[in-house]
Amino acid sequence: MEPHPRDPGRAAWALPCLLLLALPGVDAQAGQGFTLQQPQAKVTVTAGDNLTLICTVSGIAGPGSVMWLKGWGSGNKTVYDQNNADPSSRVTAAVRGSDTNFTIHIRNVQPEDMGTYYCVKFVKGAFGDDEVFRRGSGTEVTVQAKPSRPLVSGPEQRARPNDSVPFTCTTGGFFPDKIDVKWFKNDNSMTAQPPQVTQTRMKTYNMSSTAQVTLEKGDARSQITCEVTHPTLQAPLRGSFQLSRVLRVPPSVKVRAEPSPAEVNKTVAFTCLLKEFYPANVSISWLENGIEIKGQNLSGPREVSRGLFELSSRVEVQATEEKNGSTITCRVVHDGQAPANDSAVLLISNPTLGGLSNEFQINKDDMLIYIVVGVVCTVLALLVAAILYLIRTKQIKGKSSPSARLHEPEKSSEATTQESDPNNLTYADLNFEKERKSIRRMVEMSQQSEYACIQSNQAPNGDDNLTYADLDMVHLSKAPKRPAPRPEEAGSEYASVQITRK
């Protein structure tokens, strides 16, 4: 029997089958001699530095690339691919072109680079897909991030001395979260609230600390300092704030006039002195009775002790009589605040009658009225005093001396007889010091006059021994005129009263 010839189609189909059966045996044999080593279990690096991750392989493996993955599972991320390496990437191979060393370098590591990294060997599967063949044990990477330089911020508006204002110190991007904060005013430590630490989505932390500061007048040159200490720092970080940025010291305003008072038509210099203010931006204006006048600053603001400033301004005014008593005002606007004022009065030392120097002016009509009223009051006062004096004198005389009233019918027989007329009575009141004096004679000489002659002893010396005669003539006799009698001897006293006929 002849053998049948070989079917060429069957022979072509049997060859691929034999190859497929033979491949698993070959892969198993190759896998038994393949090793992948990732020796770093944990690595700590400081942000900004470079990171090196080691991975080496040995033995024979099927076709496929070696990759680095961050994380494992559905959320993993490819960090490096041997077959698709990007030269511009910050992740590069430590040894290029090597089939056994797959160590990589990561430049400028950041906190977001923290995580666990795996070195993985892939092979092609039956359907051409990459399948995991070997995986390293993983390297946990910790990035220590330094805190940023502290930033100190203060209030948005300026504050006055004795005001308590808050200051805030902030820093961020650090890891781990352990951080320490201290506050200083100049070189003196201050108390502050405990820092507030919060985590970000980048797994780093931020910090905020607040301190209350009571401003003082001399704080124009002072500063507030926030000091931060962190494990990643070899020396503390500091942030400062100049208190001059928030301090406002209003000026003290004082106006003086020289000379004061001044002579008429002389020049008076008014000086406005501003002391111890901060900041230096200030404006000055002058007013005369509310109307602006032109003045000049003697100099710009000059710095004095403790960083404060002084400034003086001057205006000259002519001392005319019309300006006597005028108010000169210095108006100061400091740092955009409400105006502060101080004033002085223009005084004239020798004004005319039309004006007085001590801030008061009286016109001539008013002056004349005052003079007339003063004179009238003075005259009235003198009259009243004279009347009271006369009344008092009369009362004293009436009490101290006896009086005698003599009527014509009662005169002694030695007196000359007068015509009988009941309507023409003549009488005299004679006041003697101690006793009634004897009437020697009384002679009627003429029709126009009547005479009474009284003789007494020699009058003693002194004002206390005076003889008075009060003669009240009611009706005069119509006797013919007669010559006046001659005086008697030296030892007599006479009282003569002559009344003109009506």
| Average pLDDT score over residue span 404-412 | 42
450 and 378 share one domain: no
Strands (E), 432-496: 468-473
Is the full-model pTM beyond 0.75? no
Spatial distance between the Cα atoms of 72 and 117, rounded to a whole number of angstroms: 8
pLDDT tens, 151-176? 999 999 999 999 999 999 999 999 99
Which residue has better confidence, 113 or 409? 113
- Which amino acid type is present at position 355? G
Tokens of 88: 């511009």
Query: Given pLDDT bands bounded at 50, 70 and 90, which one contains residue 451?
Result: very low
115 and 159 share one domain: no
Spatial distance between the Cα atoms of 9 and 222, rounded to a whole number of angstroms: 100
Does residue 225 lie within any of the structural domains?
yes
Whether the predicted pLDDT of 410 surpasses 50: no
Does residue 4 lie within any of the structural domains?
no
Can you tell me whether residue 245 is helix, strand or coil? helix
Whether the predicted pLDDT of 421 surpasses 60: no
Residue 79 CB: number of other CB atoms within 10 A?
A: 20
Of 203, 218, 245, which closes a domain? Answer: 245
Whether the predicted pLDDT of 492 surpasses 50: no
378 and 448 share one domain: no
Of 245, 266, 284, which closes a domain? Answer: 245
Torsion of CA 198, 201, 204, 207, to 10 degrees: -30
Spatial distance between the Cα atoms of 178 and 199, rounded to a whole number of angstroms: 12
315 and 388 share one domain: no
Spatial distance between the Cα atoms of 471 and 288, rounded to a whole number of angstroms: 78
Spatial distance between the Cα atoms of 368 and 390, rounded to a whole number of angstroms: 34
Nearest Cα residue to 106 out of 64, 66, 47: 47
pLDDT tens, 2-27? 333 333 333 333 333 333 333 343 34
Does residue 351 lie within any of the structural domains?
no
What percentage of the chain exceeds 90 in pLDDT?
A: 52
Does residue 13 lie within any of the structural domains?
no
157 and 197 share one domain: yes
Does residue 8 lie within any of the structural domains?
no
Of 190, 222, 245, which closes a domain? Answer: 245
Does residue 19 lie within any of the structural domains?
no
Establish how many alpha carbons lie within 13 A of residue 284's alpha carbon, considering only the half-sphere containing its beta carbon: 28
- Please give the pLDDT value at position 179: 96
43 and 129 share one domain: yes
Torsion of CA 454, 460, 461, 463, to 10 degrees: -60
The phi and psi torsions of 443 (rounded to 5 degrees) equal: -110, 135
Whether the predicted pLDDT of 398 surpasses 80: no
| 34 close to 66: Cβ distance less than 8 angstroms | no
User: 256 is in which domain, residue-wise?
Assistant: 252-345
How many whole angstroms from its chain centre is CA 98?
A: 78
- Please give the pLDDT value at position 351: 65
Burial of residue 404 (CB within 10 Å: 0-12, 13-18, 19+) is middle
Strands (E), 145-204: 151-153, 164-174, 180-185, 188-190, 196-199
Q: How many domains, the chain? A: 5
What percentage of the chain exceeds 70 in pLDDT?
A: 70
369 and 440 share one domain: no
- Please give the pLDDT value at position 487: 53
* 126-140, 271-285, 470-484: least confidently modelled range: 470-484
Spatial distance between the Cα atoms of 28 and 444, rounded to a whole number of angstroms: 195
Residue 10 CB: number of other CB atoms within 10 A?
A: 8
Query: Given pLDDT bands bounded at 50, 70 and 90, which one contains residue 84?
Result: confident
405 and 495 share one domain: yes
Nearest Cα residue to 453 out of 425, 430, 435, 434: 430
Can you tell me whether residue 461 is helix, strand or coil? coil
Does residue 14 lie within any of the structural domains?
no
* 185-194, 221-230, 245-254, 418-427: least confidently modelled range: 418-427
| Average pLDDT score over residue span 260-285 | 94
Tokens of 145: 């991030």
Whether the predicted pLDDT of 428 surpasses 80: no
191 and 296 share one domain: no
235 and 267 share one domain: no
- Please give the pLDDT value at position 365: 61
Tokens of 100: 């056994």
263 and 214 share one domain: no
Tokens of 161: 């001395």
- Please give the pLDDT value at position 47: 87
What CATH number has the domain bearing residue 337? 2.60.40.10
pLDDT tens, 118-157? 999 999 887 778 889 999 999 999 999 999 999 999 999 9
Whether the predicted pLDDT of 413 surpasses 50: no
Mean pLDDT of the chain: 78
